[in-house]
Amino acid sequence: MTTVAEAVAPRAQAGVATRVWRFVKRHALTVYALLAVGYLMLPIAVVILFSFNHPTGRFNYVWNTFTFDNWIHWNSILGIQSAVETSLEVATLATLVATALGTLIALALVRHHFVGRGATNLLVFLPLSTPEIVLGASLLTLFLNTTSVIQLGFWTIFIAHVMFIVSFVVITVKARLIGFDRHLEEAAMDLGANEVTTFRKITLPLLAPAMLAAALLGFALSIDDFVITYLNAGPTQTFPIFVWGIARVAVPPQVNVVASAIFLVAIAIGLGNVFWQYRSAKRTRGVA
């Protein structure tokens, strides 16, 4: 008996030690994860916090007193409102066009075998692996050499944004199309629907979530872009260009207000999307 107990005891001890070690290790990683998230959130918190600051002088670097004034009078800085409006207009138009163009490319790439498929893939991939400064610079040289056709301004920004968003749309929609059940379309065709009707009634609704995701990504990319836009904007100001200009003087808290507002809307959509995916996942599981 004693020999058994003696034999068991060290193992039990080792078990406890291992468990303690595992406990520490597990929690060390959790603590690290929370710290890392804190690091990611810190500047965001600062942006939001300083949107409520009433700065003592011109510089909004040091916390003074809390105020809602910046939010109420967010457009009291000359040029900020028109810059925000331009950003929203460009983002909306560019996203619509890029989502349409990108979805069509994705359909062709996944659904069809054709000569030039590899080249198409490469052409879609290249803009993603080119630094923004080079994309912006090359487009600028095109516009500088064709000033008789087009002047730098709203439409050159629009053209640039569609160009760099298309590739992101293709990748997003392609990922969805690859895992797509073609039997549904075949069934519709067997029931006498032609290709256009099948596309409209079956393919498009099934693609809608991926297109929406791609459009949201495109909108976010467009509204945030500085480098390409700055090079191709001419005298037109988007919100990031406005911030760049005013950062050389002193950034007013109204800039933080606009950035916070954009952030809060995006986070709300993101949370909504997480919730929606969770619910539709539960629903499809219920059907199956």
Binding to other proteins, residues 93-152 (CB under 8 A): 100-102, 104-105, 107-108, 111-112, 114, 120, 123-124, 126-135, 137-142, 144-145
**CB atoms near residue 84 (< 10 Å):** 20
Q: Does 209 bind other proteins (CB under 8 A)?
A: no
CA distance 92 to 121: 26
The residue (of 38 and 68) whose beta carbon lies closer to other proteins is: 38
Q: Which of 16, 68, 178, 195 binds other proteins (CB under 8 A)?
A: 195
Query: Does residue 274 touch other proteins according to CB under 8 A?
Result: yes
- Residue from 16, 17, 24, 36 in contact with other proteins (CB under 8 A): 36
Binding mask 40-79 for other proteins (x = CB under 8 A): xxxxx-xx--x---------xxx-----------------
- Interface residue with other proteins, options 16, 17, 20, 37 (CB under 8 A): 37
Please state the closest distance from residue 240 (CB atom) to other proteins, in A: 5
Least separation in angstroms between CB 3 and other proteins:
26
Check residue 178 for interaction with other proteins (CB under 8 A): no
Closer residue to other proteins (CB): 130 or 280: 130
Site for other proteins in 236-265 (CB under 8 A): 239-240, 243-244, 247, 251, 255-256, 258-260, 262-263
Give 32 or 68: the residue with its C-beta nearer to other proteins.
32
Q: How far is the CB of 68 from other proteins (least distance, A)?
A: 19
Query: How many residues form the binding site for other proteins (CB under 8 A)?
Result: 89
Report the nearest approach of other proteins to the CB of residue 1 (Å).
30
Other beta carbons within 10 angstroms of residue 111's beta carbon come to 13
